Amino acid sequence: MPASPPPAPISPKVGLFVTCLVDLMRPSVGFAAVKLLEDAGCRVEVPSAQTCCGQPAWNSGDSADAATVARGLIAAFEPFDYVVAPSGSCAGMIRVHYPELFADDPDWAPRARALAAKTHELISFLVDVRGLTRVAARLAATATYHDSCSGLRELGVKRQPRALLATVAGLELREGREAETCCGFGGLFCVKYPDVSTGIADVKTADIAATGADLVLGGDMGCLMNIAGRLRRQGSTAAVRHVAEVLADVTAVPPIAGT
């Protein structure tokens, strides 16, 4: 009979993978993530040795540089019970693509698979692993939610943010017909194909406008910055925020891009 897996720790030691965009562009998301994790009973540390996850190199076909970056990240986060990122994109890189990256490396493949198995996107970790069912947050707004491609398609993040947002006092959530449609960011895609990217973003912003929402929420800074920038150029007054800020009730900071 195979051995039973060890029980989940009551107060797990979580390594917060902040991600590049949160660190450089929106630190409030990182602080919100820490608050949510600590409120959920986790002991949170932010390893100073963390870097980019290597996704830009991986997506551009530079697997050698992606592997170099990934080795450093694996070593930095191995001591933790869980690795949590406020980004489906970066969490997906570790959880889905690290095992692919080291598939032919007998030394690093086991370490990559072990890290992948304990890596989670923030909101799915709170709901699926920690069993969180509600938050003590309040925000008077009408919001619509954007499902980022990696979070939705690689990690299955869909119901978890909506379940917690439904418990935010004063918040009404309106679903867009194109909630699951790409925003046009796609990392290097928006740089290589700006006209196509802008066309995709226009579909997204038109759908947002059709909902009548005054707030756009999502779980990936790349998507949110792209949406906020396009809304601002179109003269929209809709605000854009990372979902962690709303759930942690830390909305004193201005919305992304000041929209």
What's residue 8's pLDDT?
Answer: 73
Mention every residue, 6+ apart, whose C-beta is less than 8 A from residue 79.
13, 15
What's residue 4's pLDDT?
Answer: 67
- Phi/psi at 183 (nearest 5 deg)? -90, -10
pTM of the predicted model as reported, rounded to 2 decimal places: 0.94
What's residue 223's pLDDT?
Answer: 96
**211: closest CA among 236, 244, 243?**
236
What's residue 2's pLDDT?
Answer: 58
Supply 251's token pair. Answer: 């909305």
Q: What is the DSSP string of 65-114?
A: HHHHHHHHHHHHHTTSSEEEES-HHHHHIIIIIHHHHTTT-TTTHHHHHH
What's residue 258's pLDDT?
Answer: 81
- Phi/psi at 51 (nearest 5 deg)? -135, -165
**If you compute the radius of gyration of the chain from its CA atoms, what whole number of angstroms results?**
18
- Phi/psi at 36 (nearest 5 deg)? -65, -40
Residue 221 and residue 26 in contact, taking contact as beta carbons nearer than 8 Å = yes
Residue type, 91: A
Residue ranges in the chain whose pLDDT is less than 50: none
- Residue 12, helix vs strand vs coil: coil
CA-to-CA distance for 54 and 231, rounded, in angstroms?
29
